């Protein structure tokens, strides 16, 4: 089943409205997982399993939507490139990230997992379909304009920042150590949550490259979701460590097992 332009436009609007709602709410009430986990948000499940379950739709739904909408047709070089970048990010996040993290991962609210599944399905439909339409538009058959190449470069830079920040957080503690430490190196020299910063850079670059309403809506929702949490991390670091570097801004955190 393919979605038409009117349906995709409505779904993009829903995503933008969700971003407008989520942004202020998460400043007031941090999402209840990781270091902010607390009672009152329903039943819990194993965090590692929950992570894979909630991210898996972001791998398969965009591919299904892309193929259902025509698979980019004869002019699909740029569309296939962007879909490949999408899968690069989400394959790593879904399958490699939870395996590489140290520790058992703790517990996460089932509610958080369900909400993430709903969002990833909606976001996958609008972006997978929109990417396919890029290759069906004769005006876009000059497949690799400078804007696209610049956006791809920004995406890859953010991806590398994200990977490095994950590595820093995984190796904060020596075997047998417990507790939290201040992450250092890479983008942590400037921001308190370098992983979140990397993701923001990634999806901003993706939106520049794709230049579709769906891609920009995703970039906006990413900011609405991550900026409040990054700010919460920054405040937590400042309140927890008296020697925390004053020069850092507030953008993922140094949790000993699960950094989100």
Spatial contact of 54 and 121, defined as CB atoms under 8 Å apart? no
- Reported as a single tens digit per residue, the pLDDT across 70-83 is 877 656 788 899 99
State pLDDT tens for residues 91-147.
999 999 988 876 655 778 888 899 999 999 999 999 999 999 886 666 665 557 888
Closest CA to 207 of 163, 158, 148: 148
Of residues 246 and 98, more confidence is placed in 98
Contacts of residue 156, defined as CB under 8 A and 6 or more positions apart, other chains included, come to: 85, 205
Please name the residue that has the structure tokens 């009672």.
39
Residues in a beta bridge with 59: none
> Distance between CA atoms of 37 and 44, rounded to whole angstroms?
10
What percent of the chain lies above the pLDDT cut of 90?
Answer: 51
Task: Please name the residues in contact with 41: beta carbons below 8 A apart, sequence gap of 6 or more.
Answer: 32, 109, 111, 112
Mean pLDDT, to the nearest integer, of 4-25?
94
The answer to which of 19-23, 123-127, 135-139, 179-183 has the lowest mean pLDDT is 135-139
The larger pLDDT score, comparing residue 234 to residue 119, is at 119
Region 148-167 average pLDDT: 96
C-alpha to C-alpha distances, 108 to 25, 37, 209, 225, 227, nearest whole angstrom: 19, 7, 34, 17, 21
Q: Which is more confidently placed, 107 or 159? A: 159
Domain definitions of the chain by residue range: 5-240
């Amino acid at each position: 089943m393919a979605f038409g332009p009117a349906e995709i436009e409505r779904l993009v609007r829903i995503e933008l409205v969700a971003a407008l709602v989520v942004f202020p709410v998460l400043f007031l009430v941090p999402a209840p997982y990781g270091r902010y986990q607390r009672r009152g948000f329903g039943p819990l499940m194993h965090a590692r399993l929950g992570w894979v379950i909630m991210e898996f739709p972001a791998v398969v739904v965009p591919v299904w939507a892309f193929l259902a909408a025509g698979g980019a047709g004869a002019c699909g070089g740029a569309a296939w490139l962007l879909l490949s970048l999408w899968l690069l990010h989400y394959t790593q996040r879904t399958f490699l990230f939870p395996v590489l993290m140290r520790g058992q991962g703790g517990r996460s609210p089932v509610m958080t997992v369900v909400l993430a599944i709903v969002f990833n399905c909606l976001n996958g439909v609008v972006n997978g379909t929109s990417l396919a339409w890029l290759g069906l538009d004769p005006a876009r058959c000059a497949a690799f304009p400078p804007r696209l190449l610049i956006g791809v470069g920004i995406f890859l830079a953010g991806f590398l920042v994200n990977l490095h920040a994950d590595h820093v957080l995984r190796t904060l503690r020596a075997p047998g150590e417990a507790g939290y430490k201040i992450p250092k190196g890479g983008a942590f020299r400037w921001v308190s949550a370098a992983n979140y910063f990397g993701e923001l850079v990634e999806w901003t670059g993706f939106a520049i490259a794709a230049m579709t309403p769906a891609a920009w809506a995703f970039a906006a929702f990413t900011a609405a979701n991550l900026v409040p949490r990054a700010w919460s991390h920054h405040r937590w670091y400042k309140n927890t460590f008296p020697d925390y570097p004053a020069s850092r801004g507030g953008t993922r955190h140094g949790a000993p097992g699960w950094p989100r």
